[in-house]
Structure 1
Amino acid sequence: MTKVLIADDHELIRNGIKDMLLTSEEFNLVGEAEDGQEAIDLSKKHSPDILIMDIAMPNVSGLEATETIKKDLPDVKILILTMHEDEEYIIRMYEAGASGYILKNAKMPELLDAIKTIAKGDFYFNNEVTQIMLKGMQDKTRESVKPSAFDQDISVLTEREIEVVILIADGLSNKEIAEHLFISVRTVETHRKNLMKKIKVKNTAEIIKFAIHYELVKY
Structure 2
Amino acid sequence: MKLQTKYKLIIADDHKMFLDGLLSILMHESDYEIVYTANNGKDIKKYLDINTKENIDLAILDINMPEIDGVTLNQYIKNKRSSIKTLMVSMLTEPQKIYQLTHDGVDGYISKNAKKTELLHAIETILQGNKYFSENIKNIYTKSIFDQDKEAQIVLTQREKQILQLIAQEYTTQEIADTLFLSKYTIEGYRTSLISKLKVKNLVGLAKYAIKHGLVD
What TM-score comes out, normalization by structure 1 length? 0.61
Q: Which 5+ residue runs of structure 2 have no aligned equivalent?
A: 1-5, 153-217
Post-superposition shift, 1:142? 9.4
Contact 2:98–2:141 (Cα < 8 Å) also in 1: yes
Aligned counterpart for 1:17 among listed residues 22, 25, 36: 22
Deviations 1:164-219 (A, max 9, x none): xxxxxxxxxxxxxxxxxxxxxxxxxxxxxxxxxxxxxxxxxxxxxxxxxxxxxxxx
2: CA distance between counterparts of 1:96 and 1:134?
16
Paired position in structure 1 for 2:135: 127
Distance 1:94 1:24, change over 3 A: same
Aligned pair partner of 1:95 in 83, 103, 127: 103
| Mean Cα deviation higher: 126-135 or 112-121 | 126-135
The letter of the residue matching 1:21 is L
The whole-number CA distance in structure 2 between the counterparts of 1:3 and 1:88 is 30
**CA positional deviation for 1:70:** 1.4
What is the SS of the residue equivalent to 1:52? strand
Query: Deviation at 1:47?
Result: 3.7
Q: What corresponds to 1:208 in structure 2? A: none
Inter-CA distance 2–140: structure 2 relative to 1 (3 Å threshold): same
Deviation at 1:14, TM superposition (A): 1.2
Please tell me whether residue 58 in structure 1 is matched to residue 66 in structure 2: yes
Amino acid at match of 1:117: T
Which one of the candidate residues 40, 43, 51 is aligned to 2:48?
Answer: 43
Identify which of 60, 73, 76 aligns with 2:81: 73
Cα distance, 1:48–1:11 mapped onto 2, change above 3 Å: same
Aligned to 2:93: 85
Task: For 1:153-164, list aligned pairs within 5 A.
Answer: none
When the two chains are superposed, the root-mean-square deviation of aligned CA atoms in Å is 1.9
- Which structure 2 residues correspond to residues 158-177 of structure 1 after superposition, within 5 A? none
Q: In structure 2, what is the Cα distance between the partners aligned to 1:54 and 1:103?
A: 10
Number of the residue aligned with 2:12 = 7
The CA distance in 2 between the partners of 1:139 and 1:80, in whole Å, is 22
Q: Percent identity?
A: 32
The structural deviation recorded for 1:143 is 10
Corresponding residue of 2:144: 136
- The residue number in structure 2 matching 1:34 is 39
Taking the aligned partners of 1:116 and 1:21, their CA distance within structure 2 comes to: 12
Q: Judge which range, 36-45 or 49-58, deviates more.
A: 36-45
Contact 1:33–1:42 (Cα < 8 Å) also in 2:
no
Counterpart AA for 1:6: I
Unaligned 5+ segments in structure 1 are: 145-219
TM-score (normalizing by structure 2): 0.62
Does residue 1:111 correspond to 2:119, yes or no?
yes
- Between structure 1 and structure 2, the one with the greater Rg is 2
